[in-house]
Chains A and B, each alone.
Chain A
Amino acid sequence: MLLIKCPYCEEQREEEEFSPAGQAHIVRPLNPEELSDEQWARYLFFRKNPRGLHHELWLHAHGCRKYFNMTRNTVTYQIMETYKMGQQPSVTASQEVK
């Protein structure tokens, strides 16, 4: 059971208040009609499943109802940071390698 800091509420709250919503930073193509089936399928279905740092989308479902981003280690379940929509992560897997 994770303890999650909602970047909008700015409080540590129990995981029970939140629901995960998949991979973060997936941008909807602006020109869907111009994409090939394969390009569209990539947006639609292909998701990362990393061992280690992962950027995820979460919803503070039983709280402020805001979606936000979380960088989480999928092995240790450590949460490196949570950040608002539209922001970029300050901790990334490539940084960790260094």
Chain B
Amino acid sequence: MRQVNRIAAKSKHINRSRILSFTFNGKEYQGYEGDTVASALLANGVNVVGRSFKYSRPRGIITADSQEPNAIFQVGSTQATTIPNPRATQTELYQGLVATSTNGWPNVDFDLMSTVGKVGGSMMPPGFYYKTFMYPQSLWMSYEHLIRKGAGLGTSPTQADPDSYDKIHHHCDVMIVGAGPAGLAAALAAADTGARVIISDEQNEFGGHLLCSTQQIDGQLPNLWVEKIVEKLSNMDNVLLLPRSTVFGYYDHNLLGINERCTDHLGEHKSKTIRQRMHKVRAKQVILATGAHERPLVYGNNDVPGCMLANAVSTYINRYEVVPGNELVLMTTNDNAYKTAIDWHQAGRQVIAIVDTRATSNGELVKQAKQLDIDIIFGHGVINVKGSKRVKGVDIAPINVNNHCLTGSAKHFSCDTVASSGGWSPVIHLSSHTGSRPVWKDDIAGFVPGETVQAQHICGGLEGVYSLSKVINDGFSTGAKAAQAADKGEGRYEGSQPHIVDPQEDASMALFHIPHSKRTSRAPKQFVDYQNDVTAAGIELANREGFESIEHVKRYTALGFGTDQGKLGNINGMAITAKSLGKTIPETGTTIFRPMYTPTTFGALAGSDVKHLFDPVRFSAMHKWHLDNSAEFEDVGQWKRPWYFPQAGETMQQSLERECLATRNSVGILDASTLGKIDIQGKDAREFLNRVYTNPWSKLAVGKCRYGVMCKEDGMVFDDGVTACLDENRFIMTTTTGGAAGVLQWLELWHQTEWPELEVYFSTVTDHWSTMTISGPNSRKVLEKICDIDVSNDNFKYMDWIEANVAGVKARIFRISFTGELSFEINVQANYGMHTWQAVMAAGKEFNITPYGTETMHILRAEKGFIIVGQDTDGSVTPQDLDMDWVVGKKKEFSFIGKRSWTRYDNKRDDRKQMVGLKPKDPKFVLPEGAQIVFEPNQSIPMTMVGHVTSSYYSACMGYSFALAVVKGGINRKGQSVFLPLSDGTTVEAEICSPVFYDPKGDRQNV
């Protein structure tokens, strides 16, 4: 297909020697290197690029920048590389690019939904979502599904992203956002002081507005000035230039997030390179030089393809060498937009008329247009556009702005393009990100950044300074001032100023909404927010229904809720609200923008922190052995712990039964290295333990161990474990695997903030030790074979610890038991862990020593009624609720943490949920963990729930299933039945019993 709208080469931005082929909605087109998808489509005369969200109207390209609401595509040729919703105006063309419309399913030219939309549209007034979809709320999901399918909002990739992403941190003196004339001048002035400068711009080339401008600098085209400055900057060691880098967010304390698109312009999935890189910049001073966006005017049928922003038209002509039509009508409220008509004329195409809403103007650009014999119609507006898939003509009428009415009849003009300009809106988005409220300025009819607590400077168009000479001067002085604020330079720019003559301009008119002969509600649709199909009539309706704050209007109409955050429509929407309420624009509120400035890929945000780098993984020293012995693993915090060790042909349940029986009948071995270990030293260590544990520690002798429970100050259990007295002033505390870091922090908190006078020190030593627990009636026989010390019951009692050599390695052995069996916990220096483990396995071979994992450990401890904090407790359980009053010291002098709370009214209730055992009536049925418990199974729904199952297993040793549970007043209900209504509709019965199922007297661990 021929590029019908491409004009003769004149800019350096389009490389005619490099032709690029691409497809849009399945059709092949050609463009050039330097094109965006939008400029290439316009070059090819493509009018319709999508369908509107609600009314399914054909839509064309309106802008040439991040404001674009219509040309939002699905880009990418595979399910792995497809990108939903990039703006075609910001998507650089590459060879083989595949783009489709995200809306307008099944095709933009013949849209199935348009017929439905015509009906649906009239049934979908503003507030439609609000009024209709809220009730019944349960149906929202299905409504949304239908709307999405019909309107299309892009689709997510269904395959994994093949690309690599990266992150980098920077610190700099001055960060400049935007490399237009102001930003470039600021960068040069700041860099001249020796300050470390970073300047970024979302476009592929620096220059900003100068890329599409014809205004001369130093008697030459502005490109040459841009090239000169960029070259200077790139030769300076203290400057980092970041093109194709969007500052998507400005965060507290001068932190900026920047997404650099490194290879997106080259094609899909360039392997071996980073696709996008996120820069996190912490800047001493920030200069926002983000410029201004042109504002469209709101008029009848202003969404017909061919209606565009004036400056966008100039951009396509001057930068991309594309004239997006043949016959132009320009509507403007200001002199500045006259450039567009002049550019159009000079490109050799016809300007039908300039429709100027002002009574008159004698600015220089107006005179230039007159000299070119362009027809100028003052005091008029375009009130309506004719055409459906392309503009066919306009109705022009004399308007009275103050009374919002026409003062005469309309005349029809044929044309195919309508450019409009309602002035400029400073791009205040980034300054709003940090909470600064924008301030309205009447003289420029726009918001500028308000007060801020950030070390932030603004310059150029963002400040409402628009004439080029002033913009550049502003840039120089702001750059120098920002550098000075970062302790660099004297605050003045000493370099040369370029020679610029600004055309004299007459005053603009503050006008947003063009009147029509009919009332707004009866007039043709006048679109304000194209992405969400919000019209002027819709906003007025919202105002009539009582929504007066712009924030409410936005929620009611969905104004500004598209992916563009209302860049194009917000100010117009506020102006219409203000007018219909008889208020000023600032009185209706301000417009607040939030990150992201433009949508940012998840890949860039994740960087390389994905897959195995997402979270650290911790292994014990015996991990390799577990792998070699076909362990299945369980994640416990960051640890990989053996879950169970299946043998060939076994189901998981069969493995567990084998492991349990082996341990109870002979000997099993568990890798317990992951338990948290904290070395506690100091002359007040004992007193400290007294204060943080519920039980007493004053009399624990050297060589002894004790089980302890820790509560929070509210009296609820939060960790437990065994602590051993190593020396008079030294203890080793074990914590749960998951709780280790939290417990250490807890101890530090109390020591540092409440009891700094206690002399005590805490060190985490979890990783220093490998721990293996041998458990079962034959465990002593195994240990005796490899230990150099008498470990008989007389010499090494239950709850003692000793130091000994095990397999030639110095070890601490704790005689403690979590299974209820005779047990020895052998601790050796971590790097001897594998050696010792292998020695124990060899020694245990004759007893069929059986490795077991966390699941068997859970079953064996539950048979003994030993709790697991976090499984059987949930932060609302006291030791008394656990029937563990024995672990509470009654005579301790200090009112230890948690104690006072147990006598609070709520904690003394006798109907609190209490820990009990449950025996299902069907001894083979394993209750689901989490199942709710009721006393009366035949009550009506919702039933009164009185507790839930916390742990539940089948016990091979006992031959029946059992559970631990919390039940209201359960301790006094032993022997009673409870009922568990399950999710499949059945109800099972169980009997409340003691939580200690196996060896209730504890004989087995004492042999």
Residue from A21, A35, A77 in contact with B252 in the complex, judged by beta carbons closer than 8 Å: A77
Is there an interface contact between A67 and B748, defined as CB atoms closer than 8 Å?
yes
**Shortest CB distance A76–B (Å):** 4
- A97 at interface (Cβ–Cβ under 8 A)? no
In angstroms, Cα B714 to Cα A75, docked, is 30
Is there an interface contact between A65 and B748, defined as CB atoms closer than 8 Å?
yes
Is there an interface contact between B895 and A32, defined as CB atoms closer than 8 Å?
yes
- B630 at interface (Cβ–Cβ under 8 A)? no
Is there an interface contact between A1 and B749, defined as CB atoms closer than 8 Å?
no
Q: Which of B412-449 contact A (CB under 8 A)?
A: 435
Is there an interface contact between A1 and B253, defined as CB atoms closer than 8 Å?
yes
- A37 at interface (Cβ–Cβ under 8 A)? yes
Is there an interface contact between B901 and A77, defined as CB atoms closer than 8 Å?
no
In angstroms, Cα B902 to Cα A33, docked, is 11
- Our count of residue pairs bridging A and B at CB distance below 8 angstroms stands at 57
Residue from A35, A61, A66, A76 in contact with B752 in the complex, judged by beta carbons closer than 8 Å: A66
Residue from B255, B754, B756, B904 in contact with A41 in the complex, judged by beta carbons closer than 8 Å: B904
Residue from B253, B748, B756, B905 in contact with A3 in the complex, judged by beta carbons closer than 8 Å: B253
Residue from A1, A40, A61, A66 in contact with B255 in the complex, judged by beta carbons closer than 8 Å: A1
Q: Which of B95-131 contact A (CB under 8 A)?
A: none
- A28 at interface (Cβ–Cβ under 8 A)? yes
In angstroms, Cα B900 to Cα A41, docked, is 10
Query: Which residues does chain B contribute within 8 Å of A78, judged by CB atoms?
Result: 453
In angstroms, Cα B435 to Cα A76, docked, is 7
Is there an interface contact between A33 and B895, defined as CB atoms closer than 8 Å?
yes
Residue from B255, B453, B749 in contact with A67 in the complex, judged by beta carbons closer than 8 Å: B749
- A2 at interface (Cβ–Cβ under 8 A)? yes
Query: Which residues does chain B contribute within 8 Å of A73, judged by CB atoms?
Result: 453
- A70 at interface (Cβ–Cβ under 8 A)? no
Residue from A2, A21, A27, A75 in contact with B253 in the complex, judged by beta carbons closer than 8 Å: A2
Q: Which of A49-98 contact B (CB under 8 A)?
A: 57, 59, 61, 65-67, 73, 75-79, 85-86
- B380 at interface (Cβ–Cβ under 8 A)? no
Q: Which of A19-56 contact B (CB under 8 A)?
A: 21, 27-28, 31-33, 35, 37, 40-41, 44
- Residue on A with the closest CB to B713? A44
In angstroms, Cα B453 to Cα A77, docked, is 9
Q: Which of B228-273 contact A (CB under 8 A)?
A: 251-255
Given contacts A66-B752, A85-B753, contact A3 B714 (CB under 8 A): no
Query: Which residues does chain B contribute within 8 Å of A33, judged by CB atoms?
Result: 895, 900
Is there an interface contact between B895 and A59, defined as CB atoms closer than 8 Å?
no
In angstroms, Cα B253 to Cα A79, docked, is 9
Query: Which residues does chain A contribute within 8 Å of B253, judged by CB atoms?
Result: 1-3, 77, 79
Is there an interface contact between A61 and B252, defined as CB atoms closer than 8 Å?
no
In angstroms, Cα B901 to Cα A32, docked, is 9
Among B252, B282, B904, B905, max chain A CB count under 10 A is at B252
Residue from A27, A37, A65, A86 in contact with B756 in the complex, judged by beta carbons closer than 8 Å: A86
- B497 at interface (Cβ–Cβ under 8 A)? no
Given contacts A44-B714, A59-B745, A67-B748, contact A3 B282 (CB under 8 A): yes
Residue from A14, A35, A67 in contact with B900 in the complex, judged by beta carbons closer than 8 Å: A35
- B913 at interface (Cβ–Cβ under 8 A)? no
Query: Which residues does chain B contribute within 8 Å of A21, judged by CB atoms?
Result: 749
**Shortest CB distance A30–B (Å):** 9
In angstroms, Cα B839 to Cα A19, docked, is 44
Query: Which residues does chain A contribute within 8 Å of B714, judged by CB atoms?
Result: 44
> Using a CB–CB distance below 8 Å, which chain B residues touch chain A?
251-255, 282, 435, 453, 713-714, 745, 748-749, 752-754, 756, 895, 899-901, 903-905
> Using a CB–CB distance below 8 Å, which chain A residues touch chain B?
1-3, 14, 21, 27-28, 31-33, 35, 37, 40-41, 44, 57, 59, 61, 65-67, 73, 75-79, 85-86
Identify 17 residue pairs between A and B in the complex whose beta-carbon atoms are under 8 Å apart, listed by A's number: A1-B252, A2-B253, A3-B255, A32-B900, A33-B900, A37-B905, A44-B901, A59-B749, A67-B748, A67-B753, A73-B453, A75-B435, A76-B453, A77-B253, A77-B435, A77-B453, A85-B752
- 6 A-B pairs with the lowest CB-CB distances in the bound complex, closest first: A32-B900, A3-B253, A76-B453, A32-B895, A77-B252, A67-B752
